[in-house]
Amino acid sequence: MNSPLLITQEHIERYDVSGPRYTSYPTADRFVEAFDAAAYLKAAEQRNISNWTQPLSLYVHIPFCASLCFYCACNKIVTKRYEQGAVYLNYLQRELDLHLDKFAKKQTVNQLHLGGGTPTFLNDAELTQLMQMFKQAFAFAKDGEYSIEIDPRTVNQQRLQHLRELGFNRLSFGVQDFDAEVQQAVHRVQSYAQVESLMQHARDLEFASINTDLIYGLPKQTPATFRQTIAQIIQLRPDRIALYGYAHLPSRFKPQRRILQADLPHAVDKIQMLSEAIQQLMLAGYVFIGMDHFALPDDPLAIAKQQGRLHRNFQGYSTMADQDILALGVSAIGKIGATYSQNAKTLEEYYDFLDQGQLPIVRGLALSRDDLIRRAVIMAVMCHGELSYESIELSYMVNFKQYFQAEIAQLAEKEKQGLVVLEDDGLKVTEMGWYFVRAIAMVFDRYLQHDANRARFSKIL
């Protein structure tokens, strides 16, 4: 990665704008209420008719948290009423049964992710009940990826052992930052020693992969303090690192209103944090997967990037192919074929649908041919940093230069700024362009090009 000095003030001013993270295309804000449970069931029926044999990916959203983190933009319910976990599991079982009625046979699952909220809000008995529910419903592949998000404040060594016994083989620790002042500012205090002890025990238990989540751009952060956090993460040596830019959207997420704008670092400092973190991690032997992900060279994510098999889904970068996602729980987003679907966002509405014996799907989208073409282009840019025009032409029977004439013209300006190289048969994102890869992808977003209201998205920088 080149020196951050190549990034000019002009770059910062031009690209300190809002834009999607492209965990999907079209993005979730484009989902419509016209796509409901009936539309989802039609997609599931088509999957059965075609005898689709590709394994499923499961995503389960556990919304509860015992403590509020001020930066959080996830769908969550902060409560100390732990009895809510048992009630929620009962409704998850009802939802799962409604889905299973529509599948022709017992499906194979090769990927499971428990997200939140805080999945470890559930106690050991409840997590056992949840996994038994899934193991009765699906055939789990022996070589699958089964992961759970961990708040280090909610687990101990015994809980980690229980998770391993349940079949989880991947953990994601929410760290965010180790600096004490930053932790106080975001209301999430956890020590380095605590995380170190848990990660060491996870290794002793032979979890296949350990991820840590970090956030740059938090209140009270400086390039110097974040440099120290990165150094500490390198000492811990997780297999994967997710390095997210903080998205300050207090008008949408009420907890963020407790964060003072004056405490947030400026865009130039955020760029420095990101660029220095990338350099520190790469010098320590990590592979820069793209945008916000890093992995050790022998990790499947790094191998997938090297082999051109990298994919991007609602959880970020993934090794799995573009497979169907069965999503369960409040606000969860799923994918069946060329459709997306999302559950009700409030617990009351989610429960109400299931009390009526209905799937809690409230919106979604059936992708058009144009959506599919643009999704392929955007994912190539986001995952591989390059695009072959011929690959799109052969897959979708279009003349790329004609179809994307306006977009290529827009990219010419980004080429002048050193972000992308346009060639006769394709394009490549430069090393500096990776800092702004979302801006490059945005050029191909038909919805965004006709929409001036981008404030709902996080800042690129």
**DSSP string for residues in 262-312:** GGSPPHHHHHHHHHHHHHHHHHTT-EEEETTEEE-TTSHHHHHHHTT--EE
Instruction: Please give the Cα distance from 149 to 384 (Å, whole number).
Output: 26
Query: SS3 for 328?
Result: strand
**Residue type at 96 in one-letter notation:** L
Domains of the chain: 30-328 (3.80.30.20), 368-447 (1.10.10.920)
| Residue (of 156, 157, 189) closest to 174 by Cα position | 189
DSSP code, position 423? E
Cα separation values, 230 from 207, 238, 272, Å: 23, 12, 13
Q: What's the confidence (pLDDT) of residue 456?
A: 54
Give 347-361 pLDDT, tens digit per residue: 999 999 999 999 999
- Check pLDDT > 70 for residue 89: yes
Specify the higher pLDDT residue, 195 or 20: 195
- Check pLDDT > 90 for residue 252: no
- Check pLDDT > 80 for residue 16: no
DSSP code, position 398? -
Specify the higher pLDDT residue, 139 or 49: 139
What is the number of H-type helices and E-type strands within the chain? 17, 19
Specify the higher pLDDT residue, 368 or 460: 368
Statement: the pTM of the whole predicted model exceeds 0.85 = yes
Say if CB 366 and CB 39 are below 8 A apart.
yes
Alpha carbon 327 to its chain's center? 14
Q: What's the confidence (pLDDT) of residue 87?
A: 97
